Amino acid sequence: MAKYFDVHPHDPQPRSIAQIVAMLRDDALIAYPTDSGYALGCLMDSHTGADRIRTIRHLDDKHHFTLVCADFAQLGQLVQLDNAEFRAIKASTPGPYTFILPATKDVPRRLAHPKKKTVGVRIPDHAVVRALLRELGEPLLSSTLILPGEDAPMTQGWLVKDELDHVIDAVVDAGDTGSEPSTVVDWSEGAPEVVRIGAGDPSRFA
C-alpha cells in the first residue's frame, strides 16, 4: 500500500517533506501535486522508476519524460539553450510549461528520446514541489499522471491513492490541483512548436 502524506499546499511540513525525500532516495515512485495536475516522480537514477511509470501509463520507449527542476540554473544544466530560448523560457518559468530540448551529457541516455536525444524540462509553480526539490537537491524524473484512456491528469490525492495504491509507494496530497496538464513546447528544432495546449498560455510561443 502507498504511504499517504497530507501536506499543507502553501507551507508544507518539513518533517513530511524529509520523509518523502527519504523514500525517493530509497528508489520510491511517488504521486505528487503540481500546478497542472498530479505527476508521477522518482529519482533520475532510479533503477525501476521509469519502467514503472511506463507500465502505469502504458507508454512506449519514445515517450518524453520530464525532468522537474527547482530553478532555472538547474534546468540549464540538463538541456542545451541558445540565447533566444534562454530568454523565452526564463520569462515563462516557474509555470505550467514543459519544454522539449536537446539533452546535455548530464542526462542519462536512457531518459532521453532514443532518436532525437531530447528531454522535457519543467519548473512548476507549486510550493510543495519546490520544497521537495530543495530537500532533494536534484531534479525529479516525472510524467504527468494521466491514466490510460484518459485525456486529463488526476487532480485529487485521495483518488490517486484509491486508484494506484498497490503500484506506487507514496501519495503526496496537498489539496486539489488544476485539471489541465502543462503546455508542451518542442524547441528541439530551433524554433518553438506547441505540441500540447494545456494550462500555460501558448500564445507567447506562437
In this structure, what CATH number is given to the domain that contains residue 66? Answer: 3.90.870.10
Instruction: Name the band, by pLDDT with cuts 50, 70 and 90, for residue 110.
Output: confident
Q: How far apart are CA 4 and CA 91, in angstroms?
A: 35
pLDDT at 109: 86
- pLDDT, one tens digit per residue, over 115-162 is 899 999 999 999 999 999 999 999 999 999 999 999 899 999 999 999
Q: How far apart are CA 157 and CA 184, in angstroms?
A: 24
Instruction: Name the band, by pLDDT with cuts 50, 70 and 90, for residue 61.
Output: confident
Cα-Cα-Cα-Cα dihedral sign, residues 173, 100, 97, 122: positive
Strands (DSSP E) found in 90-202: 97-102, 118-122, 140-144, 170-173, 183-186, 193-196
User: What pTM was estimated for this model as a whole?
Assistant: 0.94
Tally the domains of the chain.
1
Give me the domain span that covers residue 146: 3-205
